[in-house]
Amino acid sequence: MSEKKHALLSASGSARWLRCTASAEAEKNFPPEKESTYAAEGTVAHALAEAKLYADILGRDESDTIAELKGDPYYDSDMDRYTTGYAEYVAELLAEAKEEDPMAQLLPENRVDFSRYVPSGFGTADALILSNKRITVIDLKYGRGVPVSAKGNSQLALYALGAYDAYSFLYAPPMARLVIYQPRIDHIEYGDIPLQTLIDWGTEYVAPRAKAAIEGSGKFDPGDHCRWCRARIRCRARAEKLKAIAKKDFCEPALLSDAEMLEVLTLSDTLSKWAADVYGWAQAQAEKGKKIKGYKLVAGMRKRKIADEDGLITALRRHKLKLDDIAPRKLATIGELEKLIGKEKFKDWAADYIELPDARPILVPESDKREEIIVDLKNDF
Ligand code: SF4
């Protein structure tokens, strides 16, 4: 899902500005951040996915577009496989919708306008399926980090409201279905919600908050959502909250209780991210020539590297050194091999030679989607 033209109150940023209504105004002081390579890769994947929806489902000739995208440096066989899987999944949803309502139709990359609730609010839904049964909003997420939840997803909810506004003269669905398709981590999730509930949410919750945000009368409300805010490094409200946490008075008794330890644990992630952000800001300022009081720039650790591998091999061979000793052959990594021959073939050809050693469990917040490991205390003892 994309919002190529920048909107002040974007649907993709709605989880932030709906909570912290002052953030839209605060963000104005900071330029948009540079597009990361992940975002650039995602843009190519979305374009390819869109072309496949048109070609594979709607029968439009997209061969030139697909050929051009396959020449992009970010394209690889995995992207081809993931986007084909996405197109097949959308085709399945469309077929199911048509069984329920022959009038069902698919709209790939459809611009939706939700300005009834959010001033100038618009965006582009990766895929919409409209029928008299439900509006389905499908969002392709090409990231492989954290699984994105479909349930309670304000971005998709706003797109559903925009789609309903645009097409309610054709369809009268009672429900909306919000779908996340995140193929690189095998994550597909959907949530159903009555359309009237969405409309009430848009009218009673979103609209007044959007109004406050746009008029500059919003309130600061720091939280997890700060990590996506351009003002996060210099925001006073966030700093005050984090400073209050850091200064927390753990006085009596001498040792912290389990509950107090838990409090510190819950906040440690936010505090460490904030510290890293501030450190990054100070480093960038110093590199631009600004003196940071109490700090100085020094030479970083330098590591030797071979500038001319062939030249060095020839030079060492002249001294009768064996090639196997100076340049031993090394097998490519699993990732490199998968890239070379494709994940499916690699699984077929290499399964007998690969093992997955046990890993030490890691402690993560309960909101993490991964399955919990239950430690058997009896066996442990
Ligand atoms: S950093 Fe957090 S509290 Fe500050 S403006 Fe951004 S979202 Fe709001």
| pLDDT for res 250 | 60
Q: Is the pLDDT of residue 266 over 90?
A: no
pLDDT average, residue stretch 360-364: 79
pLDDT average, residue stretch 295-323: 90
- Is the Cβ atom of 26 under 6 angstroms away from ligand 1? yes
Instruction: Please name the residues in contact with 149: beta carbons below 8 A apart, sequence gap of 6 or more.
Output: 180, 189, 369
pTM above 0.75, yes or no: yes
pLDDT average, residue stretch 353-369: 80
Q: Is the pLDDT of residue 117 over 50?
A: yes
CA gap 124, 7 in Å, rounded: 12
**Residue of 227, 230, 238 with the most ligand 1 atoms within 8 Å of its CB, for mutation:** 238
pLDDT average, residue stretch 107-113: 95
- Is the Cβ atom of 22 under 6 angstroms away from ligand 1? yes
Q: Which amino acid is at 261?
A: M
Q: pLDDT for 34-61, tens place per residue? A: 778 888 999 999 999 999 999 999 999 9
pLDDT average, residue stretch 124-148: 94
Residues of the chain within CATH 3.90.320 domain(s) are 14-215
Which DSSP string do the residues of 76-103 spell out, in sequence order? Answer: -HHHHHHHHHHHHHHHHHHHHHHHH-TT
Of 181 and 8, more confident:
181
Q: In terms of CATH architecture, what is 14-215?
A: Alpha-Beta Complex (3.90)
CA gap 362, 269 in Å, rounded: 14
Of 192 and 268, more confident:
192
| pLDDT for res 110 | 94
The atom number, within ligand 1, closest to the CA of 26 reads: 5
Range from 176-180, 231-235, 266-270, 365-369 carrying the lowest mean pLDDT: 365-369
Which residues are bridge partners to 177 per DSSP?
Answer: 136, 192
User: How far apart are the CA of 291 and the centre of ligand 1, in A?
Assistant: 27
User: How far apart are the CA of 21 and the centre of ligand 1, in A?
Assistant: 9
- Is the Cβ atom of 225 under 6 angstroms away from ligand 1? yes
Nearest CA to ligand 1 atom 5: 23
- Is the Cβ atom of 141 under 6 angstroms away from ligand 1? no
- Is the Cβ atom of 235 under 6 angstroms away from ligand 1? yes
- CB contact burial 189-206 (16+ within 10 A = b; e otherwise): bbbebebeebbebbeeeb
Q: Is the pLDDT of residue 357 over 90?
A: no
pLDDT average, residue stretch 371-376: 78
Only one residue has tokens 């690699």, namely 346
Q: Is the pLDDT of residue 115 over 80?
A: yes
Q: Is the pLDDT of residue 123 over 60?
A: yes
The atom number, within ligand 1, closest to the CA of 20 reads: 8
Which residues are bridge partners to 105 per DSSP?
Answer: 130
- Phi-psi domain of 152 (left: phi exceeds 0; alpha: psi -120 through 50; beta: other): left
**Residue of 9, 33, 232, 278 with the most ligand 1 atoms within 8 Å of its CB, for mutation:** 232
pLDDT average, residue stretch 314-335: 90
Instruction: Please name the residues in contact with 306: beta carbons below 8 A apart, sequence gap of 6 or more.
Output: 312
Nearest CA to ligand 1 atom 3: 222
User: How far apart are the CA of 313 and the centre of ligand 1, in A?
Assistant: 55
Instruction: Give the range with max mean pLDDT: 228-237, 264-273, 362-371.
Output: 228-237
- Is the Cβ atom of 16 under 6 angstroms away from ligand 1? yes
Instruction: Please name the residues in contact with 178: beta carbons below 8 A apart, sequence gap of 6 or more.
Output: 137, 139, 150, 151, 153, 156, 157, 160, 190, 191, 192, 193
User: How far apart are the CA of 30 and the centre of ligand 1, in A?
Assistant: 12
Nearest 5 degrees, angle CA 156-CA 160-CA 165?
Answer: 150
The atom number, within ligand 1, closest to the CA of 230 reads: 6
Of 329 and 103, more confident:
103
The atom number, within ligand 1, closest to the CA of 226 reads: 2
pLDDT average, residue stretch 328-343: 87
Average pLDDT, the chain: 89
